[in-house]
Structure 1
Amino acid sequence: MYVAVKGGERAIDNAHAWLAEARRGDVSVPELSVPQIREQMTLAVNRVMAEGSLHDPDLAALAIKQARGDLIEAIFLIRAYRTTLPRFGASEPLDTGAMAVSRRVSATFKDAPGGQVLGPTFDYTHRLIDFSLAAEAQANPQAETAEAPPPPRTPHIAEFLDAEGLLQPEREDAGAGAPPDLTRQPLAFPATRALRLQALARADEGFTLSLAYSTQRGYGRNHPFVGELRVGVVAVEAEIPELGFAVEIGDIELTECETVNQFAGSKTEPPQFTRGYGLTLGHCERKAISMALVDRAMRWQELGEDFAGAPAQDEEFVLSHCDNIQATGFLEHIKLPHYVDFQAELELIRTLRREAAAGPDPVKEAAE
């Protein structure tokens, strides 16, 4: 029988107070400030912005602090706050070719125009704990670099393959018109590539990484080259109706990845390379590469390839399960009260056990 819980509101208030105490931790330790999180935990901040679909480093840092470092909870906070913001316009398409790159690497061309810029990366570290970082106060010398500053405009690697006709040109979604807005319209299938990329851009990094890894292991036959991975700042422009032209309103940091995949050709297409694409807010290169691999895997139908039955090729599977906020909500709701549901199932199990213990009913069997 269901019994109403009394004192629930008081218990919740006490849980909130305890949460605030746990979040603060030992009061003898200096409190972590939002600027410290923003400046020293930038990759966590960038992930929260990317998957929260809102570019605001201060707000993302505050959400991380409030969430006690739980990034999915912080993303949830950002998503919720995002819904309260007015939509006053849309920016012009970003020109990533004009990106002021801080990192640019290619696995396909060693001497690409614009050069390779290693930038801030863990790729060449030894993955050994640096105990000197535990020092309370340490010198912060400026890192010396021998890398030359990048040119004003850094061409995309794909442009060189395009020039020889070796890379399949990007196609507009037939009859798609303006790209749909996933933040304002429910997800619908079949999804256009623009909609798939939107979903992947704010998908959970771990889920996307696992799918991308599965394609490399054979579940989708997708083992590409990284044509180019670039991280940098791009100007954001918006058209002002009163002026009749676009003006720069700010800049944001982005990570962009283009992968190059072999394509054997078809009856209508010659052998050439195809591409996967990933673009995220902030410095999130693992996510951008994963996104590009999954994007390419889901293009099998467009390219006339056979469906191998791989999870990463199934757009309904990928797009319906990649959002960590939806997944978290459905997963964690089962820890909330389900007294009535459980009592119904409990009574059903007891009834079945009683019937099994009593043995077959001769009257009922005769009637059947």
Structure 2
Amino acid sequence: MYVAVKGGEAAIANAHQLLADRRRGDRSVPALTLEQIAGQFQLGLDRVMAEGSLYDVELAAMAVRQSRGDLIEAIFLLRAYRTTLPRFGASVPLDTGNMAIERRISATYKDLPGGQLLGPTFDYTHRLIDPAMAGDGPVEPGLRRPLAPGDAHCPRVTDLLGDEGLIERDVAATADEPGDLTREPLEFPAGRDLRLQALARGDEGFLLSLAYSTQRGYARTHPFVGEIRIGLVEVEVDMPELGFAVPIGRVRLTECQMVNQFKGSAKEPPQFTRGYGLVFGQSERKAMAMSLVDRALRADEFGEERVAPAQDEEFVIAHSDNVQATGFVEHLKLPHYVDFQAELDLVRRMRAEHAAAENARAEREAAE
């Protein structure tokens, strides 16, 4: 940031004080607590944690409160804090097959082993504002019994298809540690591990628009939601001195397996292909969009021509990061006085030259 006006520092200090005053709001109303934000704005916090790439509910609530509800600003705050944290290792690949499921649906099979579980969802609500929301008391009856995560055996839909050989083989995790785009500059073409990282922390609205474009014909996709599952998964870290992995906590995740049609190639028979999405929290719209874009970006793997924006790896990844996009767009409102004066002088000279040329042309025409 730079300020070329005398008294700029005092103005900035006053702006910060005004921001703090507006953040607090009406003093006659109790201030929002972190517990209220974490308990009642969970989906917003899930987005902040996913795109901030840091799973910490309390920090996310602090960021949302500090940003006055501006989620992209909160994501920026969380990422900035993330850079101060030490990185002491990598977890083993998460086993979402052993997820404590809170929600599980499939659009491909009605009767699934383990069943379908609707869980907390807006899918079947009327999109009408409920006048009861204006009150301070409870607006909806609570559950008569605690909601327990599903504990039935729930094999993935893609595993069922895989048992019949009807879907591409799942790539097993390698012993090598995956790349980390937050520590190394991203180069194109990127591996799928880095692409999925970029998509997982990409802007939900941008990915949603790209995913929508693939459904409107701007990529070769014919998708079905194989399965969406939401729930808690244990995070484990290998302990060399013990010789086995140790759980260090649990995170809530949304996983989406998108099933797509593939006519086959010279090397592969006709089969279904995969699009994959995995996001912190309950973020199924983001996970679905991510899985659609992931499949579109795999065009080269299947010998498909890249003809759509969603299939352009550099376009998608370079523009999906809302923190980077915010920096590039919002820097335009900072002082550009010197640059603009140079442009102003250039336009004035060009107009003078243009006017002189027009006068000369008019004089020649008058002389003729």
Who is 2:274 aligned against? 275
Who is 1:238 aligned against? 237
Distance 2:148 2:280 in 1: 25
| Match status 1:222 vs 2:206 | no
| Match status 1:127 vs 2:127 | yes
Who is 1:13 aligned against? 13
Who is 1:83 aligned against? 83
Q: Report percent identity of matched pairs.
A: 65
Give 1:31 deviation, angstroms.
Answer: 0.7
Per-residue CA distance 1:265-285 (angstroms, 9 max, x = gap): 001100000010000011100
What letter matches 1:269 in structure 2? E
Who is 2:355 aligned against? 357
Q: Structure 2 matches for 1:337-352, cutoff 5 A? A: 337-352=335-350
Give 1:292 deviation, angstroms.
Answer: 0.1
Q: Structure 2 matches for 1:1-368, cutoff 5 A? A: 4-138=4-138, 141-144=141-144, 150-171=150-171, 177-307=176-306, 309-359=307-357
Change (3 A) 1:285 1:98: same
Per-residue CA distance 1:194-217 (angstroms, 9 max, x = gap): 110000000000000000000000
What letter matches 1:206 in structure 2? G
Distance 1:314 1:105 in 2: 30
**C-alpha root-mean-square deviation of aligned residues, in Å?**
2.0
Contact 1:99/1:153 (<8 A) preserved:
no
Give 1:251 deviation, angstroms.
Answer: 0.4
What letter matches 1:64 in structure 2? V
TM-score normalised per structure 1: 0.93
Distance 2:358 2:48 in 1: 60
Who is 1:366 aligned against? none
Distance 2:309 2:264 in 1: 23
Distance 1:162 1:144 in 2: 40
Per-residue CA distance 1:104-135 (angstroms, 9 max, x = gap): 00000110101000000000001111111221
Give 1:223 deviation, angstroms.
Answer: 3.0
Change (3 A) 1:233 1:85: same
Contact 2:236/2:249 (<8 A) preserved:
yes
What letter matches 1:268 in structure 2? K
Distance 2:113 2:4 in 1: 70
TM-score normalised per structure 2: 0.93
Who is 2:366 aligned against? none
Contact 2:100/2:149 (<8 A) preserved:
no
Contact 2:92/2:235 (<8 A) preserved:
yes
Contact 1:98/1:152 (<8 A) preserved:
no
Change (3 A) 1:204 1:148: closer
Per-residue CA distance 1:195-249 (angstroms, 9 max, x = gap): 1000000000000000000000000032300000000000111112322211111
Change (3 A) 1:4 1:63: closer
What letter matches 2:356 in structure 1? A
Per-residue CA distance 1:162-189 (angstroms, 9 max, x = gap): 000000113479x995421011011110
Aligned positions, number: 358
Other structure's SS at 1:359 match = helix
Other structure's SS at 2:102 match = strand
68-77 or 153-162, which moves further after superposition?
153-162
Change (3 A) 1:21 1:148: closer
Contact 2:114/2:152 (<8 A) preserved:
no
Per-residue CA distance 1:299-344 (angstroms, 9 max, x = gap): 010111122x200000010000000000000000000011111000
Distance 1:140 1:168 in 2: 45
Change (3 A) 1:172 1:163: closer
Contact 1:100/1:152 (<8 A) preserved:
no
Who is 2:364 aligned against? none
Other structure's SS at 1:290 match = helix
Change (3 A) 1:243 1:177: closer
What letter matches 1:84 in structure 2? T
Give 1:144 deviation, angstroms.
Answer: 4.5
Give 1:47 deviation, angstroms.
Answer: 0.2
**Structure 1 stretches lacking a partner, 5+ long:** 363-368
Distance 2:147 2:222 in 1: 31
Distance 1:144 1:164 in 2: 42
